[in-house]
Amino acid sequence: MGIAPKQLGLYVGLLVVGSGAGWASHSYFFNPETEDQDSKLPIATSVLRTTAEPAEAASQSQAQAYPSIDNPNFIAAAAEQVGPAVVRIDASRSVRGVSETFEHPFFKRFFTEELPVDPELPERLEQGTGSGFILSQDGQVMTNAHVVEGASTVTVTLNDGRTFEGNVVGTDPITDVAVVQINGEDLPTAPLGSTDGLAAGQWAIAIGNPLGLDNTVTAGIISALGRTSSQVGISDKRVQFIQTDAAINPGNSGGPLLNAQGEVIGMNTAIRAGAQGLGFAIPIETAKRIGDQLFKDGEVQHPYLGIQMVNLNPEMRQRINDDEDMDFTIEADSGVMVIRVMEGTPAEDAGIQRGDVINKVNEIEVATATDVQAQVETSSIGKALKVEVNRKGETKTLEVKPTKMPNALQ
């Protein structure tokens, strides 16, 4: 009997599949036990960890006297410092769907997914609310891509009540980062920190607009670092998340996650459905790197190899070797095995084959598919990337030139 990709625990590395976005209150919800649940449920916030110069991030914000953790009111001090730079983002988009009559639970109970979308039906307006934070005094704002999905302009409301029309400069669904420009001067800005030195158990403070309740402050701790997209349940994202138990609710998407000093260390993006105390944020280095590219070019070009991978362990090796449909056997019981090479891709052109076990990427050892993905993400499109593989006991070094990820996969 053949092994299906799902049975192998397939990691769709470097190949991104679609995920739906719910607009009711702009927060990612996910159920890790239901593979297709993301396409049906609303969404939240996430982050990928990469290196960036803290000085560069700090230069984007005003000089601040950071609250001291020795201050028993450090949470209030941090909120007071950053709160003016946290904004509410109201977005709307036009959709065409079934009439409101058939949206009634009575009809859904019988028709479920059989209701077609009638092209003759009039468009209706869907509205949603999320959060964001101001990066620069002249009005650069960062938020989640799913918050502004389908909108070219949004309404941005500051803590002091001022309202601006915001232009959506660019969105990157792969990392769930978006940037908005508003016309303003001497606007309050959020000081950016760094995830360097961040550790589980440290304080975490979230500010946002959950359920339309503006400038809500919650606090908790950093629960874990480096949570992969597959662990979080949104495997189509190229992000390694910060996990926190600070309460993150619908509407918090795009708001800042702060450290005890009142510096932004992440952007809130995801919460786990049916669980408490499980929130996730995109590391600020990732969000800032993507945001800078969006402000500069309006888009982000993600490097693409065109392979699917699976993490090896003794049980997986045995299952693969016992499968009659596999035209190879493997000796390694750890590492990252290529389970599929897409046709007409850089990986195929470079000679990567099904069954290859990847040992190094760019001369850096990799142990998981996430490690491979992280190295590819930091590579340059069109520039040779060295990939060392073990093929039937023989070590080979191949040069792959990543291309831009196809739009259909974003």
At position 162, the amino acid (one-letter code) is R
Backbone dihedral angles phi then psi of residue 278, each to the nearest 5 degrees: -125, 90
Residue with tokens 């874990």: 224
Q: How far apart are CA 319 and CA 329, in angstroms?
A: 10
**Minimal CA–CA distance to 261: which of 187, 186, 188, 194?**
194
Q: Which of 46, 146, 235, 236 is the catalytic position?
A: 146
**Tens of pLDDT, residues 345-354:** 999 999 999 9
What is the structure's pLDDT at 150? 84
DSSP codes, 247-311: ---TT-TT-EEE-TTS-EEEEEEEEETT-SS-EEEEEHHHHHHHHHHHHHHSS---EE--EEEEE
Determine the pLDDT at residue 17: 28
Position 129 scores a pLDDT of: 84
pTM score above 0.85: no
**Residue type for position 58:** A
pLDDT tens readout for residues 296-355: 999 888 899 999 888 888 888 888 888 877 777 787 878 899 989 999 999 999 999 998
Question: Of 26, 253, 356, 379, which is the active-site residue?
Answer: 253
For position 166, what pLDDT does the model report?
94
Q: Are strands 163-172 and 177-181 parallel, antiparallel or unpaired?
A: antiparallel
Active site residue 334: no
Q: Which of 38, 176, 356, 371 is catalytic?
A: 176
323 is catalytic: no
Q: What is the mean pLDDT of residues 15-35?
A: 40
Q: How far apart are CA 141 and CA 143, in angstroms?
A: 7
Distance of alpha carbon 61 from the chain centroid: 24
Q: Looking at the predicted structure, is the pLDDT value of residue 268 above 90?
A: yes
The C-alpha atoms of residue 334 and residue 243 are separated, in whole angstroms, by 26
- In the DSSP assignment, the letter for residue 4 is P
Is residue 256 scored above 50 in pLDDT?
yes
Mean pLDDT of 91-105: 60
Q: Which residues contact 186 (CB under 8 A, 6 or more apart)?
A: 137
Domains annotated for the chain, with CATH where assigned, are: 20-92+125-300 (2.40.10.120), 303-409 (2.30.42.10)
In this predicted structure, the answer to whether residue 112 has a pLDDT above a threshold of 80 is no
